Structure 1
């Protein structure tokens, strides 16, 4: 298994790396390369989510939720100033877990997409 493709992702967490290694363990090198290409377009960098959460203190709360496809929470944060800044503070503390949760979903989606491509 060649995991060099995973090291190209910026600010990848150890948890994300281990999860991706499990997910692509039975793929050949060409399939791993394809997976990395598909996944890189969907993945969110934890540092970007941190910056978006900080932006919540300057009048545009909820951007981090919109970026992670949590549209309902994004609208709620936007209309309530980040739930009176409490939700924004929680997101500042938990930005890595927010990114990991989203990235896990996107990794599964990318793997399923590859399986669909094989069938066709």
Structure 2
């Protein structure tokens, strides 16, 4: 189990909050289940740096890209058609990019855990 805590540390841009959440979520899993979880989760998660880059694109190219990447299509369309709420929403997302990534990653951890439970049959 210890080797997976180290594997989580290698995820790009991982925060202490996310690491603690992952450790708590996977505490009851055996080694095979943790491998399965890690493979699923690492493919789904977004790093805060990626969200920051997509948010910066909102200033230059198209507002709302970060919301589409996070799976928030409705908010993405709203940002797109309003110019990121006249750039105010884009600035707020720029400041809160770490929170947006953490919220998204928690959802992905939950989905990954559900897939592990279904796939491993426990």
TM-score between both structures, scaled by the size of structure 1: 0.96
**C-alpha separation between the residues in 1 aligned to 2:111 and 2:8?**
17
In the alignment, is the contact (CA less than 8 A) between 1:5 and 1:33 conserved in 2? no
Please state whether the residue corresponding to 1:112 is helix, strand or coil.
Answer: helix
Gaps of 5+ in 2: none
Give the Å deviation of 1:65: 0.2
**C-alpha separation between the residues in 2 aligned to 1:110 and 1:103?**
10
In the alignment, is the contact (CA less than 8 A) between 2:33 and 2:120 conserved in 1? no
Give the Å deviation of 1:32: 1.1
TM-score between both structures, scaled by the size of structure 2: 0.94
Range moving further from structure 2, 3-12 or 74-83: 3-12
Give the Å deviation of 1:59: 2.9
CA RMSD of aligned residues (A): 1.2
Q: Which residue of 2 aligns with 1:102?
A: 104
Give the Å deviation of 1:119: 2.3
In the alignment, is the contact (CA less than 8 A) between 1:59 and 1:81 conserved in 2? no
Q: Which residue of 2 aligns with 1:17?
A: 19
Q: Which residue of 2 aligns with 1:65?
A: 67
Give the Å deviation of 1:33: 1.4
Gaps of 5+ in 1: none
Give the Å deviation of 1:58: 0.9
Q: Which residue of 2 aligns with 1:33?
A: 35
**Any runs of at least 4 consecutive aligned residues in structure 1 with deviations exceeding 2 A, and if so which?**
none
